[in-house]
Amino acid sequence: MINRLIISDSSMVIKFGAVIATIGTISLVFFAVGLLAFPVSKSCISSNNNDNSFNNTNCNYSYVLTAPPPFSYVIQPLFLVVTLLIIAGGITIIRIGKWKQNNNTNNSSR
Domains of the chain, by residue range, sit at 40-70, 75-105
| Strand intervals (E) in the chain | 40-46, 59-65
Q: Are 95 and 8 in contact (CB under 8 A)?
A: no
pTM for the model stands at 0.74
pLDDT in tens, 75-107: 889 999 999 999 999 999 999 999 988 887 777
pLDDT in tens, 48-66: 655 555 555 677 878 888 8
